[in-house]
Structure 1
């Protein structure tokens, strides 16, 4: 029997402690990203505002899930994988949600109606990364489909690279063509928060890759 198998013997058989919470958090992020994509592609200001508010509610739900993970981490001596990795993964997922909400709030508060292709593309990339994040997290509960987790992490890293390119191109276009300084600042801030959301998805992927290595 391997050392990992011995440790797994002591892990609580009721895995309803952490894995469903992670799955709920990831599902919540996907729901937020879906709302974001729908909002930036909507021609109706009223619909956009409703979706932004829905994102805000979902982010609050995400905070509750993250807090519950932290509480369980403090109460349970035996955990399915390293405590540091549990904390880091929960934090990274929460940070994705925070940045999605941050972008939505800025678009609402800054009254941005002209949502250009760069913003729409970054929102789509966040959605793609969120979906792959959810897929990988669903496989964590038994670590049998390691290849599936690794493939999802690779796709998330690829999405983050694409987001870097879109962000750089978008900022370059702003400085080339935008003559209104206030408008430039608004758009650059929104673009930055959107790109950061993909960075946080990559952070979560990096944690999962670390978990795979430690449990190989």
Structure 2
């Protein structure tokens, strides 16, 4: 009989992904209804999500220290938990960038990017939910492919928007600010793909 107090690392991965989804949803809402006066409160709300994710990750790693026989290799648990946490951190970095560069209005293409990031985080969560049953799953691979597709969509948007930016503006400050914000947004999608790659690697090692 399974010990009811046994720690479930797969559920812990999903729990971490919820923080990423929450951060992406907050980013979407904040930029869609952008208000500079409300930004400090939104940044604090984002920091609470990020800090909670850090606590959850540290709890997982502390349990791993005492684990006799984890369900997958320790290095894989450490790597995957860190990569999921990196997604939340990268989303927070976007909002911090909006603040430190003193952005007053949000460009329409930025909202397209945040939608992609939100979808990446949702797809990552679905993949992690399915990950627990990876030895029997018939859909996990398709979930990983979907994250890869969204990351490619983000890459294409990044290239197109940076190209458009430099074609249509000669303002060095504007170019610097939006190039950096677009880079931070693209990094969010990359972070989600890193999670998908880790999942795929773990599945291959344990199949």
TM-score scaled by structure 1? 0.88
Counterpart position of 2:175: 184
Corresponding residue SS for 1:146: coil
1:62 lines up with 2:65 in the alignment: no
Q: Which residue of 2 aligns with 1:86?
A: 77
Q: Deviations over 1:46-95 (max 9, x none)?
A: 34443332112101111111222222222213111122211111111111
CA distance in 2, matches of 1:70, 1:118: 38
1:19 aligns with 2:19: no
Change (3 A) 1:15 1:120: farther
Structure 1 residue 165: deviation in Å? 0.5
Shift of 1:40: 1.2
Q: Are 1:204 and 2:183 an aligned pair?
A: no
* Alpha-carbon spacing, 1:113–1:145, altered in 2? closer, same or farther (3 Å): farther
Greater mean alpha carbon deviation, residues 173-182 or residues 154-163 = 173-182
Select between 144-153 and 97-106 the one with higher mean Cα deviation.
Answer: 144-153
**Structure 2 vs 1, CA of residues 209 and 77 (structure 1 numbering), >3 Å: closer, same or farther?**
same
Distance 2:67 2:171 in 1: 54
Rounded to whole Å, the distance in 2 between the matches of 1:165 and 1:84 is 33
User: 2: CA distance between counterparts of 1:161 and 1:12?
Assistant: 42
Match of residue 5 from structure 1: none
Contact kept? 1:12, 1:78, Cα under 8 Å = no
Cα 1:121–1:106 shift into 2, 3 Å: same
Q: Which residue of 2 aligns with 1:215?
A: 206
Cα offset for 1:43? 4.1
- 2:34·2:105 contact (CA, 8 Å) conserved in 1? no
Could you tell me how far apart the structure 2 residues matched to 1:195 and 1:182 are? 20
Contact 2:76 2:202 in 1 (8 A): yes
**Alignment size in residue pairs:** 207
2:159 pairs with 1:168: yes
Larger mean Cα displacement after TM superposition, 202-211 or 107-116: 107-116
Aligned pairs for 1:28-47 within 5 A = 28-47=19-38
SS of equivalent residue, structure 2 residue 139: helix
Instruction: Give the TM-score normalised by the residue count of structure 2.
Output: 0.91
Tell whether the 8 Å contact from 1:35 to 1:52 is kept in structure 2 after alignment.
no
> What is the alpha-carbon root mean square deviation over aligned residues?
2.0
Structure 2 vs 1, CA of residues 134 and 145 (structure 1 numbering), >3 Å: closer, same or farther? farther
SS in 1 for 2:42: helix
Structure 1 residues 75-84 or 25-34, which shifts more?
A: 75-84
